[in-house]
């Protein structure tokens, strides 16, 4: 029997949802396999949009499903997953109900199609809607004011300009908005590789929050920085563009390959180095070390909503251990008078604020509080002099990733 058009995209969305919720994979890990049979780029984009909406609104979609079933479907039941995708299309992507049904029910071939049809139809008849903002895991909801509102839509696209001095020109050329020198924000869904300046490497994509850690090191004037967890190189490029001589170290061959491609496209210079920072020994100390540490990445939930459901205490504790081991190395490789930046794209205080306290207590480094003037307008450092961002910030301008950044110097002896 001929399959309705669009079924491949929905099947791929179901595979991705399953990989995230049942196997704890990231969407990035799940996508290549799930999308293998989806040839056309618009269908691939559709599959990603459906699963993205389902993950962002999961708690609310589940509440709707539960409101229309006598006995709650198990969390990992296939009909629940199919219904999540069907409702995400109907309530978020404005797909007409007949198209949702025609492409959704075949996913349950040989299974409880009537049940899914019944639940979906009941909810459509009730004209159900979603809340103003998604319901998030409690720890986020309680901690980060307005965060849920930052997740209503997928984020816009931030560009980091190679030449900060040309911010006005690029903003005028590209038609975006700029919130800091060297930054331009473009509308969500902008086809990046077709935007002026991509081929010539005049900018790279980097969320505004992720642009901040390197700014806090200032101008390099030829001094030597170690970018300790460097790939795919967003911060390496920023350091190089600010005049630092950069050693860009990363353990991942694949990600380091992307870093090299990025350097090639932008024409910026750095020395890529594949090594495990936990066993590597440098030949000299550094004027600055940027430790953009591996983390749970919950701060990137606007773009990677899988983190809302994959990350719990076990993953956080694992990351805390790795981060501490890396911090210890970095602290030992800093010259007297040198500067350490510790950054994580995490919303978990254990990986951010608590790590900063631990650094203060452990290494005899001097905190170098971040000043308001170093940050884009409308962002302020915390009273302790850290930088903390989350998706509820700059909400009226399109939001921000979650980041924690701290800065220390090593006293001159
Ligand atoms: C948050 S990402 C870095 C992002 C990068 N700074 C940027 O702005 O594009 C963390 C990186 O740490 C690397 N990493 C994890 N453990 C490492 C280790 N033991 N030694 C070196 N790199 C490591 C990962 O491969 C990953 O690329």
Q: Would the pLDDT of 413 be above 80? A: no
Average pLDDT over residues 192-221: 96
Question: How is the chain split among helix, strand and coil, in percent rounded to 5?
Answer: 45, 15, 40
In the block, residue with structure tokens 């061959």: 253
Q: Would the pLDDT of 1 be above 60? A: no
Average pLDDT over residues 257-283: 98
Q: d(Cα 385, Cα 366) in Å, to the nearest integer?
A: 12
Q: Would the pLDDT of 261 be above 60? A: yes
Q: d(Cα 83, Cα 69) in Å, to the nearest integer?
A: 12
CA of 276 from ligand 1 middle (Å) equals: 10
pLDDT digits 0-9 by tens, 341-352: 999 999 999 999
Average pLDDT over residues 51-64: 98
At 354, the pLDDT band (50, 70, 90 cuts) reads: very high
CATH class of 7-125: mainly alpha
Nearest CA to ligand 1 atom 25: 252
At 3, the pLDDT band (50, 70, 90 cuts) reads: low
At 264, the pLDDT band (50, 70, 90 cuts) reads: very high
Phi, psi at 31, each rounded to 5°: -60, -50
Query: Is this prediction's pTM over 0.90?
Result: yes
Fold of 209-409: Rossmann fold (3.40.50)
Please choose from 214, 228, 229 the residue to mutate so as to test ligand 1's pocket, defined by most ligand atoms within 8 A of CB: 229
Q: Smallest Cα–Cα separation from 272: which of 318, 337, 222, 226?
A: 226
> Beta-strand (E) ranges in 200-356?
203-205, 224-227, 245-250, 271-274, 286-292, 334-344
What local confidence, expressed as pLDDT, does residue 4 receive? 65
Q: d(Cα 391, Cα 33) in Å, to the nearest integer?
A: 30
Average pLDDT over residues 208-231: 97
At 2, the pLDDT band (50, 70, 90 cuts) reads: low
The β-bridge relationship of strands 271-274 and 203-205 is unpaired
Phi, psi at 402, each rounded to 5°: -90, 130
CA distances from 390 to 27, 146, 258, 266 (A): 21, 9, 27, 29
What local confidence, expressed as pLDDT, does residue 150 receive? 94
What local confidence, expressed as pLDDT, does residue 111 receive? 85
User: Does residue 205 line the site of ligand 1, with CB under 6 A?
Assistant: no
Average pLDDT over residues 50-64: 98
Contacts of 16 (CB under 8 A, 6+ apart): 27, 30, 31, 34, 47, 48, 51
Q: In which element (H, E) is residue 262 found?
A: helix 253-266
What local confidence, expressed as pLDDT, does residue 125 receive? 97
Average pLDDT over residues 360-371: 96
User: Does residue 401 line the site of ligand 1, with CB under 6 A?
Assistant: no
What local confidence, expressed as pLDDT, does residue 44 receive? 95
What ipTM score was computed for the predicted complex, to two decimals? 0.99
User: Does residue 276 line the site of ligand 1, with CB under 6 A?
Assistant: yes
Nearest CA to ligand 1 atom 11: 229
User: Does residue 277 line the site of ligand 1, with CB under 6 A?
Assistant: yes
Q: Would the pLDDT of 10 be above 60? A: yes
CA of 33 from ligand 1 middle (Å) equals: 24
CA of 131 from ligand 1 middle (Å) equals: 37
User: Does residue 321 line the site of ligand 1, with CB under 6 A?
Assistant: no
Q: Render the burial of 58-80: b for 16+ CB within 10 Å, e for the rest.
A: bebbbebbeebeeeebeeeebbb
Q: Please state the separation of Cα 352 from the chain's center in Å.
A: 16
The full set of domain ranges for the chain reads 7-125, 156-206, 209-409
CA of 110 from ligand 1 middle (Å) equals: 45
Closest atom of ligand 1 to CA, residue 278: 19
At 252, the pLDDT band (50, 70, 90 cuts) reads: very high
Cβ atoms of residues 111 and 105 within 8 Å: no
Q: d(Cα 308, Cα 297) in Å, to the nearest integer?
A: 10
Domain 156-206 grouped into CATH 3.40.50: no
CA distances from 412 to 135, 289, 339, 365 (A): 49, 16, 11, 11
What local confidence, expressed as pLDDT, does residue 117 receive? 97
Partnered with residue 405 across adjacent β-strands are 343, 387
Q: Would the pLDDT of 364 be above 80? A: yes
User: Does residue 292 line the site of ligand 1, with CB under 6 A?
Assistant: yes
- For residue 345, indicate whether it is catalytic: yes
């Amino acid at each position: 029997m001929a399959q309705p058009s669009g079924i491949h995209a929905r099947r791929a969305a179901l595979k991705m949802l399953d990989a995230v919720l049942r196997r704890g994979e990231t969407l990035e890990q799940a996508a290549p396999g799930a999308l293998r049979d989806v040839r056309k780029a618009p269908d691939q984009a559709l599959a990603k949009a459906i699963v993205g909406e389902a993950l962002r609104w999961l708690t609310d979609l589940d509440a709707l499903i539960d409101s229309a079933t006598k006995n709650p479907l198990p969390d990992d039941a296939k009909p629940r997953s199919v219904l999540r995708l069907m409702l995400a299309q109907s309530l978020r992507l404005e797909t007409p109900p007949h198209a949702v049904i025609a492409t959704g029910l075949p996913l349950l071939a040989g299974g409880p199609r009537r049940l899914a049809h019944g639940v979906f139809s009941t909810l459509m008849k009730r004209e159900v809607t979603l809340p103003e903002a998604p319901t998030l895991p409690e720890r986020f909801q309680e901690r980060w004011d307005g965060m849920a509102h930052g997740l209503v839509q997928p984020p816009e696209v931030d560009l980091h300009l190679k030449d900060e001095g040309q911010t006005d020109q690029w903003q005028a050329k590209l038609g975006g908005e700029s919130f800091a020198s060297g930054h331009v924000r473009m509308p969500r869904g902008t086809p990046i590789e077709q935007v002026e300046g991509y081929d010539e490497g005049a900018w790279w994509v980097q969320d505004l929050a992720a642009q901040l850690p390197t700014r806090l090191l200032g101008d390099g004037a030829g001094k030597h920085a170690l970018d300790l967890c460097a790939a795919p190189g967003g911060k390496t490029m920023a350091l190089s563009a600010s005049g630092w001589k950069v050693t860009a170290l990363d353990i991942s061959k694949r990600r380091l390959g992307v870093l090299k491609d990025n350097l090639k496209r932008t024409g910026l210079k750095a020395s890529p180095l594949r090594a495990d920072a936990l066993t590597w020994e440098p030949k000299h100390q550094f004027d600055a070390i940027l430790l953009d540490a591996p983390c749970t990445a919950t701060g990137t939930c606007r773009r990677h909503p899988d983190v809302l459901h994959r990350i719990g205490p076990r993953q956080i504790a694992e990351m805390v251990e790795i981060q501490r081991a890396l911090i210890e190395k970095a602290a030992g490789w800093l010259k007297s008078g040198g500067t350490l930046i510790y950054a994580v794209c995490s919303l978990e205080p254990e990986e951010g604020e608590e790590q900063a306290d631990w650094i203060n207590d452990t290494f005899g480094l001097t905190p170098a509080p971040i000043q308001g003037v170093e940050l884009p307008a409308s962002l302020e450092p915390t009273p302790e002099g850290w930088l903390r961002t989350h998706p509820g910030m700059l909400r009226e301008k399109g939001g921000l990733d979650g980041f924690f950044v701290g800065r220390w110097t090593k006293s001159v002896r």
